[in-house]
A and B are shown apart, each in its own frame.
Chain A
């Protein structure tokens, strides 16, 4: 038997193999993260529950946004352009001048803020036709969410000197009470057909 000496395994190609794998993963990797508008759908109403609560909301407390199948926007009975929507929604949520036709205000006791005079519970109601394009629908949603976010950011900077997203949990809760999330997705109505 020839006593051959055990030669060490040549590890010189190790780097090449690793490079090959590395390049494979580099190519297949997808770094994109999913972004989107996060919302909460309302629960389905119970069958036996009477829908009397919705009738009690006063007209001035509701901001009615309608989008028709030609992607036109009707806000509070007036045909407006998309870029006007944000300002109008802001005025509605905050009602800075305490206008008659905008939501009622009340004095409320909030942590951090103390006693504040804010709108009582404004509701934005968004209704769309079955023929509305999804792109338009999302842009309207985006404007309404943006209006709320801008207001929250402003009050956060004024009160805490930081953006809403950088606040502590308790502060976030306080700001959320100051400007609650008001967008309600109305029960769909079958109007206009397909």
Chain B
């Protein structure tokens, strides 16, 4: 088994709501070239294997993995596609290197959300076709059900959920990659159009296009190629039972168990003191709070108050989504977790500019696979 695995390269295209000027292949090529340059690779031929993260129905192409090699320089190389978030790809690349099978592995994810004209209908295709789909409801009702249960069980208030939106959109103003930065008040968030109550419009992400590519390498190669390798300390991923009728609505077992898996590998006993900052899924306002409680950073029913008090701000005790999160940057479908990792890499390298945190040694990224899933992945990164 290889001792350690690091991320040594990252390249991306700036997220934008529309990208009619480039195809997904051209967008991904740009991210790949930048990533390989960042990793100081002398040639794409040095890469041993490739992992892409994509869903056929989001691409509109069956067996989409057939269309992934060209833009990564992966023609006639080992390549496979995972139908999940970029964090699953990071975990897979980590394992490939850990086993000693490969030395350098690339992970790619992208979003062309603007090309999907019926996205809610595509998401609805993920709910049970016999038991749930005939109800013919916009699938975001599932977030409404989950938020209702979370508020009831934890006594979290709508104001506390709204404070996540205020924080993340404000953080996004300091991130030039963000599409939805804004200075908002709690009342503006709460008074925005009611959508899937208790959700309001501003508590839900908008989608954007973009591509991101990572280069991971074994310890020896990582140290040789990059001055600031970012070490993968732990990875976890969990799928809960999918049924909407019997799932645990107020707690995220996928987040709890995937973080537990990653903590064990990383030797984390107390995430709040041992991890400097967090980039966690915030597809809906309450999800950030729910995730923080599930991964043990806050006790049940206390994350909301912490956010409202400012503890989750960049200058607070526990910075969360300094990047602006998906509420601020925009959701990039399967690439969303990739942009959480991007922020962590920038922070850990000391390259985050105006957002640079002083405590920047260890960080955690958490991805949720979105409506209607009860699945997610967790990655812990560190400078040492």
Please determine whether chains A and B interact with each other in the same assembly. no
